[in-house]
Amino acid sequence: MGAIIAKPNCWDRECKHFRGLKMFDPDDPWSLVPVCKAFPDGIPDDIAYGDNLHFTPYPGDRGIRYEPVQKGGKNAKGN
């Protein structure tokens, strides 16, 4: 996991578990990372920015995988 350098795929895909961005150290702007219910300490880069769509189990995902926001539901985007 690294600092955010681009918009996370989770945002565009509207995963219902996406929680937004979290800064782990207020004195370090590079500590800003995307988080979700599956990965509260930071979404792995290959899911957040890569080609992994997180349809299948991933180490550390706590059994939570991608699910689209249901119509009328809300995620970090307010959708």
Residue 7 lies in a domain: yes
Which of the four pLDDT bands, split at 50, 70 and 90, describes residue 78?
A: low
Residue labelled with tokens 């299948």: 56
For the segment 15-67, what is each residue's pLDDT rounded down to a tens digit? 999 999 899 898 987 888 899 999 999 999 999 998 999 999 999 999 999 99
Total domains, the chain? 1
Q: Is the pLDDT of residue 77 over 60?
A: no
Q: What's the pLDDT at 30?
A: 80
The per-residue pLDDT for 79 is 45
Collapsed DSSP state (helix, strand, coil) of residue 64? coil
What pLDDT is attached to residue 19?
Answer: 94
Residue 61 lies in a domain: yes
Query: CA distances (Å), 63 to each of 7, 25, 37, 38, 57, in order?
Result: 24, 27, 10, 7, 7
Domain interval for residue 25: 1-71
Answer yes or no: is 34 within a domain: yes
